[in-house]
Structure 1
Amino acid sequence: MKAIKNILVGFLVSFLGSIPLGYLNIIGFQIYSEFGIENLVQYLLGVVFVEAFVIYLTLIFANRLVRNIKLMRIIDIFGIFFLLFLAYSFYSYSNQTAASPNYLEKYMIYSPFLVGLLLSGINFMQVPFWTGWNLYLVNGNYIKTTNTLQFYYVGGTLTGTFAGMMGFVFFLHAIAQNGAHFSKYLFAIILPLFFIVLACLQGYKVFKKYIRKP
C-alpha cells in the first residue's frame, strides 16, 4: 500500500509539474511536429533519464541542498539569464523557420535521446523544484523513503513527467494544426514574451530572497 501511495503521489506531482509551458515541452513539440512520434518518445526518454538522477539525489540530499545558500543563489541567478536566453532563442528560431521549415534537422543528426539528455541536463531549474517538493512530501509524511520505497516514488515521478510532457505536446500540436494564428505567432511573439515574464518573476524572487532584507 505504501508503495502504491508513493507511485501515485510521485506521478501526480510530476505530471502537474511537467504541464506548464517550458522549453523542454516546446522542443518536444518541435520534434514531434517535424520528425514524428518515434523521435518524440526517444527525446522524452532522454529527458526522464536525467530527471531520474536529479529526483533521487535531491530526495537523498534535500536538507543539505536547502542549507547550501551559496549553491541555491547561483542556481536562482542562473535561472534569470537562462530564461532570457530561451526568449531570444525562440525569437531567432521563428525567423529561421520562415526561411527554412526544417531548421531542426541540423540538431537531429544526433539521436533524439541524446538531445533529451543534453537539454534536461542543463535544466538546473529542476534542482530547486524537486528539492522543495521532496522536502515537503517527506516532512508532510506523504511519501515513505525507507528501504526500496523511494524507488517506487522515483518511478512514479518519471512516469508522470513522461505522460505530462507527451500529453502537452499533443495538445500544442492540435492547437497549432487548427489555429493558423497560433502557429504563426507562437515562436515569434508568445513564447519569447512568456519566458521574459518568467525571467522577470525569477528576478523578483532573487531580489526578495537574497537582496531585500525582511
Structure 2
Amino acid sequence: MTYLTPLLSGFIAAAIGTIPPGLLNMTAAKIKMKEGKKNALWFVIGAVLVIFFQAYVAVLFARVIDNRPDVVTLLREVGFVIFSILTIYFLFFAKDPIAKKKTKIKKSSKKSSFFLGMLLSGLNFFPIPYYVVVSVTLASYNLFTFQNPIILTFVLGSVLGAFGILYSYIAFFGRIEKKTDYFMRNMNTIIGSITGLVALATLFNILNYYFG
C-alpha cells in the first residue's frame, strides 16, 4: 500500500488532466488516422517523456512549499482569484469554439512524430501547477509523502495515466468522435463549471484556514 496509493493517485490525476479533448490527445488521434498507429505511438511517447519531467519538477517544487504554510495559503488565495476570473470569463464572455471537420497533418517520420510530441507537450505548462496542487492536496490528507521513492512512484503513475488516456484516443477515437464534438460545442460551459467548483473548494479551504 505504501507505493500503491501514490501510483494510483498519480494515474488518476493524470487521467483527469488528460481526458478532456485537447491539443495532445486530439493530435495523437489525428496522426493515427492520417499516418498510422506507429507514428501516433511515437508522438505519445515523446509527449509523456516531457510529462515525466514536468510532474517530477512540480512535485519537487511542491515539497519546498509544503513546509511553508504561508506560501500554501498565498497560493490558495491567488488560485481562488484566478479560478474566479476564469469562471466568469468562460461562462459569460468566451465565444463557443467551432469544431473543425477536417485538419490536414503533413506526413512525418517516427522521429519527427516523437519530437512533435515533445514539442507540443513542452508548450503546455498546465501540468506543473496542476501536479503542485495535486501533490500538496494529497499530502494534506496524508495520502502522499515527499520522499524520493514515493515521488518517483507518483510520477510513474502520472506517466502511465497520461499514456493510457492518449493511447485510448488513438485506439477508440472513431467511437468517441461524436462525443468530442459535443464537448467542443459546450466547452466553455464545462470548463467554467469546473473552474467554478475549484474556486468554491479553494474558498472553503481559505475560510477554514482563517476561521476553522
TM-score by length of 1: 0.67
Give how far 1:71 is off: 8.7
Q: Tell me whether 1:52 sits opposite 2:44 in the alignment.
A: no
The answer on whether the counterparts of 2:52 and 2:159 sit within 8 Å (CA) in structure 1 is: yes
Q: Judging changes above 3 Å, is the alpha-carbon distance between structure 1 residues 26 and 194 closer, same or farther for their aligned structure 2 residues?
A: farther
Match of 1:8 in 2: 8
Separation (CA, whole Å) in 2 of partners of 1:158 and 1:86: 31
Separation (CA, whole Å) in 2 of partners of 1:114 and 1:133: 28
**Match for 1:52: what amino acid?**
F
Could you list the runs of 5+ residues in structure 1 that have no partner in the other structure? 177-181
3-state SS of 1:144 partner: coil
**Superposition map of 1:198-213 within 5 A:** 200=192
Match of 2:114 in 1: 113
Q: Tell me whether 1:39 sits opposite 2:32 in the alignment.
A: no
Q: Judging changes above 3 Å, is the alpha-carbon distance between structure 1 residues 200 and 175 closer, same or farther for their aligned structure 2 residues?
A: closer
Query: Number of paired residues?
Result: 190
Separation (CA, whole Å) in 1 of partners of 2:170 and 2:136: 29
TM-score by length of 2: 0.67
Give how far 1:151 is off: 0.9
The answer on whether the counterparts of 1:138 and 1:144 sit within 8 Å (CA) in structure 2 is: yes
**Match for 1:112: what amino acid?**
S
Q: Judging changes above 3 Å, is the alpha-carbon distance between structure 1 residues 206 and 8 closer, same or farther for their aligned structure 2 residues?
A: closer
3-state SS of 1:41 partner: helix
Separation (CA, whole Å) in 1 of partners of 2:4 and 2:148: 15
Separation (CA, whole Å) in 1 of partners of 2:106 and 2:7: 37
The answer on whether the counterparts of 2:8 and 2:157 sit within 8 Å (CA) in structure 1 is: yes
**Superposition map of 1:155-170 within 5 A:** 155-170=156-171
What is the root-mean-square deviation in Å for CA atoms of aligned residues?
3.9
3-state SS of 2:3 partner: helix
Separation (CA, whole Å) in 2 of partners of 1:17 and 1:202: 12
1:97-136 Cα deviation digits (max 9, x unpaired): 3xxx7x1116x46711111112212222323322221111
The answer on whether the counterparts of 1:2 and 1:144 sit within 8 Å (CA) in structure 2 is: no
**Superposition map of 1:55-94 within 5 A:** 55-62=55-62, 63=65, 67=74, 87=97, 91=99, 93-94=100-101
Could you list the runs of 5+ residues in structure 2 that have no partner in the other structure? 208-212
Q: Which moved more, 1:195-204 or 1:64-73?
A: 64-73
The answer on whether the counterparts of 1:25 and 1:168 sit within 8 Å (CA) in structure 2 is: yes
Give how far 1:3 is off: 2.5
The answer on whether the counterparts of 2:6 and 2:150 sit within 8 Å (CA) in structure 1 is: yes
Give how far 1:169 is off: 3.6
The answer on whether the counterparts of 1:8 and 1:156 sit within 8 Å (CA) in structure 2 is: yes
